[in-house]
Amino acid sequence: MALSRAQKEKMVEAYGEGLAEAPHAFLLGYKGISVPQVTELRARIRKTGASYMVVKNRLALRAIEGKPLDTLRDQFSGPTAVAYSDGSPVDLAKALTEFAKTVPVVELKGGLLDGQQVAAEQIKEIANLPTRDELLAKLLFLLQSPITRFVRTLAAVPRDFVVVLDQVAKAKEKG
């Protein structure tokens, strides 16, 4: 069924509002995927706070013209879907690579990470990165460690002094 001009214009507008403005986007080839598998993929992507959109290539190319996603212009061939997010790209990349392992017909074509083009192989490397929360926890531990050691050192002086006084008192009692 052919789309009318008005329908196409609405689709271009929807693409422009969503994926054209997203700082992080990953392109997928989904040829041969079943409906339950797509439903599962959408659920996994939603859990990360991201969005998933199956696009018509020509209309998507119009929507992304002049936008950061335009650098992936040559990747819009064949059945194409875009997973995009304003949040953590690591969580989205993890969800996509885990799904691609279980459903081999899903092909990671490439992506965009903070305006920089990313190859399909690099998406797997991004998925192996620790999340923002994990990095913050490690940083907090590293910042806290020297302070903790300093406080323990300061507390050791009075503690050791009290132990020496206790031993002197015990020695006087005996002798």
For residue range 41-76, list pLDDT tens digits in order.
Answer: 999 999 988 888 888 888 888 888 888 787 888 888
123 plus 57 within the same structural domain:
yes
12 plus 98 within the same structural domain:
yes
Instruction: Give the pLDDT of residue 154.
Output: 83
Q: In the numeric block, which tokens belong to residue 115?
A: 């305006």
75 plus 144 within the same structural domain:
no
Instruction: Give the pLDDT of residue 40.
Output: 93
pTM for this one? 0.70
Measured distance between the N- and C-terminal CA atoms of the chain, rounded to whole angstroms: 106
Instruction: Give the pLDDT of residue 43.
Output: 93
Q: Is the confidence at residue 1, as pLDDT, over 70?
A: no
Instruction: Give the pLDDT of residue 47.
Output: 92
Task: Out of 129, 149, 167, pick the residue that ends a domain.
Answer: 129
CB 123 within 8 A of CB 93: yes
Instruction: Give the pLDDT of residue 21.
Output: 74
Q: What is the pLDDT of residues 124-149, one digit of tens each?
A: 888 888 877 888 888 888 888 888 88
Domain of 138? Answer: 130-175
DSSP classification of residue 172:
H
52 plus 104 within the same structural domain:
yes
45 plus 116 within the same structural domain:
yes
Instruction: Give the pLDDT of residue 65.
Output: 82
Q: What is the pLDDT of residues 80-129, one digit of tens each?
A: 888 988 888 888 889 999 998 988 888 888 888 888 888 888 888 888 88
47 plus 101 within the same structural domain:
yes
Instruction: Give the pLDDT of residue 142.
Output: 86
HSE at residue 20, side-chain half, CA atoms within 13 A, is: 17
Q: How many structural domains does the chain have? A: 2
DSSP strand pairing (51-55 vs 107-113): unpaired
99 plus 44 within the same structural domain:
yes
21 plus 107 within the same structural domain:
yes
CATH number of the domain to which 107 belongs: 3.30.70.1730
Banded pLDDT at 15 (limits 50, 70, 90):
confident
118 plus 135 within the same structural domain:
no
97 plus 70 within the same structural domain:
yes
114 plus 140 within the same structural domain:
no
107 plus 134 within the same structural domain:
no
- Phi and psi, residue 50, nearest 5°: -100, 180
